[in-house]
Amino acid sequence: MTTGSSCSAANTYCNGTSCVSCGGANQICCPGNTCAGDGCCVGGTCYASGENTPTEVCVAGAQVACGATGDACCQNNTCAGGCCVDGTCRANAATCGPTLGACNGGTGGCATGPCGGNGQNCCVGNPGGVGTAANFCTGSGLACIPGTVPNKCGTCGGTGQPCCDGNICTGGGCCDNSAKKCIANGSACTAPEGTCTNGGCLGGTCGEVGQACCGAVGCTTEFMSCQAATCAPCGGLGEACCVGFTGGDEFCGEPYVCDKATLKCAACGASGQDCCAGALCPNDGANLCNAATGKCP
């Protein structure tokens, strides 16, 4: 088999001697510059949908500008002012949607509740049981904090902070699913899983793509979940939903939601699709979810 050609198994390629994994977040791109789950191939590396690339953000297989009003949100809900709702940066005083009220650019939260800003309640992903989306925050760099009742939004990704959605921690840290927080590179993961090294526990030998899951710590790097005792990509279109830390809410990268019937990430917002977070249908003029079906009209 020719080096660099595809193997028979999905998302694998030939490295000259054997078939190895490709196409997941931060893995080498598969032949044809393709990535799994509608990720983006940039400079030979795959980025998950919703993950920052070196210059922009990946959204459904395309690199797009992020952070400005009307643009896609950058990774971790990041907007230069305003609120991040369903993957789009909304301006101060603009609507967050009919169930959420107006955006408060000072807090990054939405008026109903209020919700989504730092210290505020998380916005309800499926208000009244309508839709399937997880609870969410709208302020930059925030995630729903595990163990808070009701769930509150707080800063994520730094040492000792909750992992950002999609298991994201900064500076080579490890997302410890047991402790539900980020462990600094070089510090101890929950025993007996050794030391966090560049995103993986046990000195970097577990928790990353293609490696064994790290016991109760699980998978430690971004957009990975424990599947059949091995860390595999999650959060992209058609992939398994990533682990959520608040009440079992599963996470998918933008612009997807977790379909509870399949526990796979699916497109949302168009007619007949699942409703997006907040029971919204951004692609429908009425912007309302069908309460009886949880689908967009």
Per-residue confidence (pLDDT) for residue 284, from 0 to 100? 58
The owner of tokens 């490295």 is: 15
Could you write out the DSSP letters of every residue in 198-222?
A: TTBBGGGTBSSTTSBPBGGGB--ST
pLDDT digits (tens, 9 = 90+) for 66-104: 999 999 999 999 999 899 998 999 999 999 988 889 999
Distances in whole angstroms, Cα of residue 45 to Cα of each of 54, 135, 225: 10, 30, 19
Where along the chain do its domains lie? 1-64
Tokens standing for residue 150: 């009701």
CA separation for the pair 204, 42 (Å, rounded): 24
pLDDT digits (tens, 9 = 90+) for 5-30: 667 677 788 877 888 889 988 899 99
* Angle, vertex CA 141, rays to CA 102 and CA 243, nearest 5: 105
Contacts of 181 (CB under 8 A, 6+ apart): 160, 161, 162, 163, 175
Distances in whole angstroms, Cα of residue 271 to Cα of each of 82, 224, 263: 28, 30, 20
pLDDT digits (tens, 9 = 90+) for 144-153: 988 777 889 9
Helix (H, G, I), strand (E, B) or coil at 3: coil
H/E run at residue 46: strand 45-47
Largest CA distance in the chain: 59
| CA dihedral angle for residue 23, residue 265, residue 185, residue 164, rounded to 10 degrees | 140
pLDDT tens, position by position, for the chain (297 residues)? 455 566 767 778 887 788 888 998 889 999 899 999 999 999 999 999 999 999 999 999 999 999 999 999 999 999 998 999 989 999 999 999 888 899 999 999 999 889 999 999 999 888 777 777 888 999 999 999 887 778 899 999 999 999 999 999 999 999 998 888 999 999 999 999 999 999 999 999 999 998 999 999 999 999 999 999 999 999 999 999 998 776 556 889 999 998 888 889 999 988 888 888 888 887 655 677 888 888 888
The owner of tokens 């919204």 is: 280
